[in-house]
Structure 1
């Protein structure tokens, strides 16, 4: 049964039972009223709807029964009519101040008590919680946005009429993928998106990318997470073949319909390892390669000074991510935002944030692929590392010789628009032993600067060698820190490069025995 049909059945039962108060949580007022119009026909009872623009009118005939457009006046009118006639239903579409014990909440409660005596029903459509004492007088319903099956019907309904008139390249699989992409938007928003595509005079295969951008624009002003603009030409990632192979395998599952198999879409990865080795760049590259919008959740901005404020902000941010799905959600240096969970120095706020985040990570079914990065693994809450939270935990180590060769080539081609001789490349790979990806970028950038300032003719082997010799990597300034991170990674993570962490010579005896 679809969510809409279940909502319709429950609403019909509540109205037949003359439940005196029904709160409907939904941002789609028009969709709720359409369903109410159908239900009014089924139960064969008068239903009246109040709006600020038209006052009170009959939902079936659209006849105005009261021209008072104020909500307070509408509640008074409903109370008077309910006291005089049996089995009347009044729907309020634009109520406010009902979250707490306010004068309007009390007025509405009085009207509900009157409705209980005379078989009347008061229905409110709202996006906010209802004062508890008022809500206990009746029942509540939630009308969720169209699910994938309902969205598929909307898509077929919208484009079906144009088949034969316009070139429509979408087949049944494309329609299902489009339904998965647009899950989370309202019916009217979905219709507007499809209408925008049809305005081009055709629907092409490549329009699937436009669907994601259109949905992104709908939620562009929602606070909580930051939209990150991805520049494809700057997102080549050298090495990390283990990570890239795993991502290539998981990509089709993110928008596939997996409900029959009883599994959820991929939830994300946790990237830990040596600073400056491409963890954050990988998050951007994933979004670019998967052609999905990238959002960044900064946990440091979540923390508030008042009790419960941090938890509320995190809930809003994760709810926003659910709405903009499918997307990639990047959480950079996650250990900094959740650091208090291991030390207990913030009154338990970080512990509650960890619990809230892990619950969402494990239970939410939205198509949000999380890419979390961490440098200081000692500050990671143990709960975050348990299997079933993230789909995989990858360790990003210092690049190997072949990876350094790839990374240097990428930066040289980008900055100098050419390749360098193989003999020079061999020398640079040897010189850069122990360099992180950021160290390699810094060394090549110095050469590119000189080329820009003095001309390409100044670029020679000596300039390259000098630039690389001037870099002092973290592996030389803090070798103990690197080895400590590697030791942690060997026991808990999968190598992102596909090679042994720290090189074969540094494997622990326990690790060797497993490999043998």
Structure 2
């Protein structure tokens, strides 16, 4: 990783030392050339750049020195000049086929050998994001220019916005500028300038334009393999109960955008939600994204799998790298145990490597990606995933308590019937829904809503509610052993998302259960 200042300093030292071959790893050619122009002016030395559209030109004066626009023509010109003059620097911006033993790589190898001759002492620079043939790379050094970090992006935001102050309404203060920089971090300079230009084109900059920045950045990464953009509709995302989880999320939210570098800690990494099926784990992921006003992406581990050797690992690497660039965002991994299960001998090593790659990213990545992973069958999860430091917290979502069932019933009734229930009927439904998961309650209320739509609201009766709830047979009755096993696991290892003891625990277990610091 290399920010602008580090990159500029390193490249200056490489050129002063006359390193014969320098590969610059970057996808931002214009930004690299701007740095080279600054270095050429500072050192008062000519630097020649080659493009396929303009041939070879001196970077400071933009004077043409060779009209041949082909890469091989540029190599011949460079070799000829280095036999006649010393301390020349050439930069080629559009080079391909250097990753293997190809004709182009061999030509560059010969040119780099010539540049390393004491009688020449030149430097050949290539700008690329691809690997370099190992014998060629060993003749020189490599340096990386990453996309602008938050500090650099703040400077870009201010350079774009400040000239218009006094000429149009601009509500942004330093706090909003920093938030804008935080949102745009991870994309290229020209992409950020284009996004800001679209805001300025409106003739005003308002505080709520920060949401537009999020949407604009989201559109840049709209079609990424392995990542699916999940639309989030606020009106559909009321979550009943889970007060412990909600309180923890409220506490962690400011840390996701805060500058924590001086404290030496990283932003919140995410949560693993385990528990009884149908109790709102997936809905919680959507609700977090909605509440935090962040885009929600779903990492589909099934589409990551490839048929060729190394393809799955590369797909996962690209998807996680893209998530880093999209940040800040919420990354949802639904039923993670299905995608990461089977890391034993029968997996041919692919699943094991995927697990290792995912865990390394989860442990080491510093981008503001908040991971929400859900799991039903925790027995299939690799033990390394549960170690502290992977996720910030492990929450258990149990069957809802009577108070939580009351909240859930109320939410679905108001959503589907646009009304509230009287207390006597609500008390009866709470009793009838004993052992229900949130999905069971939704199914029961949905039956009433369907009858209301087909037969009119006048057809809604207490008996209709009662029969709808009585017709539901929850998992806690069809498979009580499975539910009990899940609860036993969560009672010892996880924090109850409800803030209350997990069902079935005795007094000693309740005192020993894990809690969160609020």
Q: TM-score range by the shorter chain?
A: over 0.9
CA distance in 2: counterparts of 1:209 and 1:176, whole angstroms: 14
CA distance in 1: counterparts of 2:338 and 2:511, whole angstroms: 35
Tell me by how many angstroms 1:200 deviates: 2.0
CA distance in 2: counterparts of 1:92 and 1:109, whole angstroms: 14
* 1:415 matches 2:437: no
CA distance in 2: counterparts of 1:512 and 1:124, whole angstroms: 63
Q: For 1:380-419, what aligned pairs fall within 5 Å after superposition? A: 380-419=381-420
Q: For 1:45-56, what aligned pairs fall within 5 Å after superposition? A: 45-56=45-56
CA distance in 1: counterparts of 2:424 and 2:104, whole angstroms: 81
* Alignment partner, residue 170 of structure 1: 172
* Alignment partner, residue 89 of structure 1: 89
SS of 1:170 mapped into structure 2:
coil
* Alignment partner, residue 365 of structure 1: 366
* Alignment partner, residue 249 of structure 1: 251
* 1:37 matches 2:48: no
* Alignment partner, residue 297 of structure 2: 295
- Over residues 398-441 of structure 1, what are the superposed CA-to-partner deviations in whole Å (9 max), with x where a residue is unaligned? 11111111111111111111112221111111101001111111
CA distance in 2: counterparts of 1:78 and 1:512, whole angstroms: 76
* 1:478 matches 2:476: no
Tell me by how many angstroms 1:170 deviates: 1.8
Contact 1:93 1:125 in 2 (8 A): yes
Tell me by how many angstroms 1:273 deviates: 0.3
Q: CA 1:193/1:513 → structure 2, altered by over 3 Å: closer, same or farther? A: closer
CA distance in 1: counterparts of 2:217 and 2:510, whole angstroms: 49
* Alignment partner, residue 78 of structure 1: 78
SS of 1:345 mapped into structure 2:
helix
SS of 1:269 mapped into structure 2:
strand
Contact 1:276 1:439 in 2 (8 A): yes
CA distance in 1: counterparts of 2:81 and 2:130, whole angstroms: 27
* Alignment partner, residue 14 of structure 1: 14
CA distance in 2: counterparts of 1:149 and 1:473, whole angstroms: 53
Contact 1:180 1:256 in 2 (8 A): no
Unaligned 5+ runs, structure 2: none
Tell me by how many angstroms 1:183 deviates: 1.0
* Alignment partner, residue 100 of structure 2: 100
* Alignment partner, residue 274 of structure 1: 276
* Alignment partner, residue 324 of structure 1: 326
Compute the TM-score of the two structures, normalised by the length of structure 1: 0.97
Tell me by how many angstroms 1:515 deviates: 7.1
* 1:204 matches 2:202: no
Unaligned 5+ runs, structure 1: none
Q: CA 1:291/1:93 → structure 2, altered by over 3 Å: closer, same or farther? A: same
* Alignment partner, residue 304 of structure 1: 306
